[in-house]
Every structure is written in C-alpha cells, then in structure tokens.
Amino acid sequence: MEKELYSYERRNGYQSSLSDFKGLLSYRAALEKIQFREALSPSASLTDLRELAPSSNRDRRYSFADADGIFLQRALDKARATFNSPKPPKPFIPTWEQMQLRNKTRDQEIEDRLRPKRAPIPTQLPPADDAKVTGILQKRGALFKFAREQVTSEDIGRLRPCQWLNDEIINFYGSMILARSESSKENPGGKPSKPLKVHYFSTFFWPKVLDGYDKSRLAKWTKKFDIFEKDVVLMAVNHGNTHWTSAAINFRQKRIEAYDSMNGDQSYVLKHLRAYVDAEHRNKKKKPFDFTGWEDYSPKVRLIACYWAAASPFHTFFVPVPQDIPQQENAYDCGVFTCTILEYLSRGEEVFNFTQKHMPYIRRKMILEIATSQLREPS
C-alpha cells in the first residue's frame, strides 16, 4: 500500500524519495491522532481516562507501525477516489478574436459614459418650419441682416440643393455662432450645452494669414479682444476658391485643428496657424508662445487595403473604417459641412453625428436660421 500510495503522490507532483514519503505518512498519522484527541477532549467535570493510563505510555512517540494500516488504507482510498474522479475542466484561455471583442465592448462602455449618445439628427424640418423655408426661398430682392453681415435672397438661394456656398453665407452663419457665444457669456447657465467662449474670424482672415502676420497687419484684427482668453478661435478656410474646410485654435484642448470633409492633407493649414499664434503672442504678450503640450489635430477617414482575387492580376481597393469626421459625397456640400462643423466646435463637441444624408435637412435648417437670425438648439 505504501508503494501504491507513493505512486499516486508522484503522479500528483510529489518529488521526494520513498523513505521520505514513509516518514511523511508517519508524521501525518501522528498529527491525525493528536487532532482526534483534541476534538474529543473531555470537560473538566469528567474523568480523563488518559490520566488512568500507565505512565510508561504517556510520553510515547508514534511510529508508522502504530497506524496499524487504518490510516494508510484511508489515505490510499482517498488517493484512488481523487484520480478516478472526473478531471477538472481546462482553464479558459480566450482566443484573439474574443479578447478583441471584449476590449471593444469595454471601450464602447467607457465611450458611452464619457460621451452619452445624443438623439439622432432629424432628416427634415417640422411641417410648419418647412413651409416657412419654402416661403423664404420664394422671396425676391429680400435682404437679411445680422450684426455687420448681410445676405440677399440670391445668396440664400445658394442653400438650395447642389449649390456651392459663398463667403456671405458662411460669414453670416459664423457671426451668429459668435453672437450666441457672447449672449451666453452675458446670460450664463440654463442651457445643457452651453457654448464656449468663441471668436469667429471671417473668411477674409485666412488669405491674410497666408500673406504673413506683419505684411497683412493682422495685429489690427485683434485690437478689441484677446484670442488667448478664448476657449476656441474658429475660421473657415478657402482652398483656391474650390473647396471649404474648417479650422480652429483650440486653447481649451491645446490643439491646432483642421477638419476636411474631403479627407485632404491639412498640414499646411496647421503650420500657418501655429505661426500665427506665435506671432500674435509675440505682438500682444511680448514673448514667444509656449506650445508645450500642444498638438496638431486633423482627423481623417482611415482606409484599409483589401484585395480581390477573382480576377488576375489582384485588384486592390480601399474600405473606410469608422470615420473621425463626416465626409461629403459630392462636389458642392463642402460649405455646409464647414458651417456645421464650426457650429459643433463652438459647443465643445468632439464627435460629429451628422453625415451626407443629413445635408438636405441642414441646408433648409440654415435657411430658417439665417432668415430668423437665430441658431436652432442642437438635437
């Protein structure tokens, strides 16, 4: 029995010799007897029969032979039962796909907590508002004014489908964004999405930036305010009179930002804006601007390469993965994308929940906003 039990223990990881194992068995048997006696210790009022035992046996130490096989048999039966019982299940080791899914689910939970999902953008105005827009588009010779900006009914017509926006529409919209920020400063609180402290530079500012700070006398553009006290400075950028994009100097996030609905390279925009910030700081604060912790931020649609082997040679095509910035699907909606992105940025939004399919609704919404000189509350 000793050897059989020893073999079980060896299979279970025991590495010492058989003689050591025999000594271990004797030690276990002695401990078991001691524990058994302590478990049945009599109370003080009862006679302890151990006291009546001959004194010669009282201090005797037990050897393995004293177990008279009972302890050994019990240990052997326990070992057999252990090895004959069903094997424990293998530890769970997740596959790569399972780990990816778990991480994606966890990241989505974190994202949902940090940025709760908003209600989806509507695809059309309420019937009463839509009728107002139809009436506005039918007016001829109308003039709409706000602050120092004005647009004509011909300019408003550029917000019909398939039209390219001009400076007048974009600057009118930008002036409303600026006015909302100023109004929020004078009447704080009350709104769940309070606008940031914003300044909007008109579309005529960007060409001056390209010409240089001193040559364009850009110091005069900020005589009445300090851009370094703003949360974000917004501007629309015109590229060769063919495309509109959005740009921002985000003091709140420490970022120079550029957003392009055509996924183009905006590195030169970021470069010129950095130079402007430094030149403005040198002019107003008399020292270079500290760009420590700042970053250039230009989100893009990421593309992954796929290969189609149905024909020879292999055909390569690219598939977009989830977008960081909405992308236009035509050659004329860039101005609408630009205005909408600027409006989002003015409220501190970092996730854009509109797409190309919302352009018809946004165009008509902008008509109503310009005609009433009032930005609608975000969805």
Question: Which is nearest to 321 in space by CA: 295, 302, 346?
Answer: 302
Predicted pLDDT of residue 255 = 97
State the pLDDT at residue 187: 52
Q: Residue 157, exposed/middle/buried by CB under 10 A (0-12, 13-18, 19+)? A: middle
Report how far apart, in Å, the C-alpha atoms of 326 and of each of 25, 35, 130, 265, 334 are.
Answer: 75, 76, 25, 15, 11
What's the confidence (pLDDT) of residue 242? 93
CA distance 235 to 25: 86
- Considering the candidates 155, 199, 333, 334, report the single residue annotated as catalytic: 334
Q: Read off the amino acid at residue 239.
A: H
Give which of 200, 210, 186 is closest to 248, Cα–Cα: 200
What's the rounded Cα separation, in Å, for the pair 254 and 231? 10
Q: What is the residue range of 63's domain?
A: 2-41+56-84
Domain count, the chain: 2
For residue 341, is it within any domain? Answer: yes
Whether residue 154 sits in one domain with residue 280:
yes
Q: Determine the average pLDDT of the residues in 346-374.
A: 94
- Model confidence at 322, pLDDT cuts 50, 70, 90, reads very low
pLDDT at residue 213, rounded to an integer: 97
Query: Do both 23 and 156 map to the same domain?
Result: no
What tens digit of pLDDT does each residue of 104-122 get? 888 888 877 776 677 788 8
66 catalytically annotated: no
Q: Of residues 260, 333, 339, 358, which has the active-site annotation?
A: 260
The pLDDT of residue 38 is 52
Does residue 244 share a domain with residue 126? yes
Name, in order, each residue with C-beta under 8 angstroms of 367's C-beta and a sequence gap of 6 or more: 133, 136, 137, 156, 159
- The catalytic residue among 155, 199, 231, 243 is 243
Q: Confirm if 212 and 224 have CB atoms less than 8 A apart.
A: no
Residue 106 resides in a domain:
no
* Number of C-beta neighbours around residue 180 at 10 A: 18
CA distance 220 to 230: 17
* pLDDT value at 193 more than 50: yes
Question: pLDDT value at position 116?
Answer: 65
Kindly indicate the confidence band of residue 48, based on its pLDDT and cuts at 50, 70 and 90. low
Residue 281 lies in a domain: yes
d(CA 122, CA 134) in angstroms, rounded, equals 18
pLDDT of residue 146: 94
Same domain, 353 and 276: yes
CA gap 354, 342 in Å, rounded: 13
Q: How far apart are CA 178 and CA 91, in angstroms?
A: 61
Amino acid occupying residue 27: Y
**Could you read off the pLDDT of 128-163 as tens digits, one per residue?**
999 999 999 999 998 999 999 999 999 999 999 999
User: Would you say residue 331 has pLDDT above 80?
Assistant: yes
Asked if 243 is an active-site residue, the reply is: yes
Q: In which element (H, E) is residue 61 found? A: none
Instruction: Indicate if the pLDDT at residue 50 is higher than 70.
Output: no
Active site residue 162: no
Share of the chain above pLDDT 90, in %: 54
Does 277 lie in the same domain as 358? yes
Give the pLDDT score at 302.
Answer: 56
Do 80 and 122 share a domain, yes or no? no
70 and 157 inside one domain: no
Residues 193 and 290 in one domain: yes
* Claim to verify: residue 198 and residue 60 sit in the same structural domain: no
Q: Are residues 76 and 160 in the same domain?
A: no
Across 264-277, average pLDDT: 96
Does residue 254 sit within a domain? yes
Angle at 248 between CA 247 and CA 254, to 5 degrees: 140
Q: What is the CATH number of the domain that holds 363?
A: 3.40.395.10
Q: What is the pLDDT of residues 220-260, one digit of tens each?
A: 999 999 999 999 999 999 999 999 999 999 999 999 999 99
* Of the listed ranges 21-25, 130-134, 167-171, 311-315, the one predicted with least confidence: 311-315
Question: If we measure between CA atoms, which residue out of 276, 326, 283, 265 comes closest to residue 301?
Answer: 326
In a domain, 47, yes or no: no
Smallest CA-to-CA distance from 42 within 52, 55, 56 is with 52
Residue 228 lies in a domain: yes
In a domain, 92, yes or no: no
214 and 76 fall within a common domain: no
Asked if 74 and 142 sit in the same domain, the reply is no
Cross-strand partners of 146: 149
Asked if the structure places residue 66 within a domain, the reply is: yes
Flag the least confident range among 9-18, 268-277, 331-340: 9-18
Percent of the chain at pLDDT > 70 equals: 80
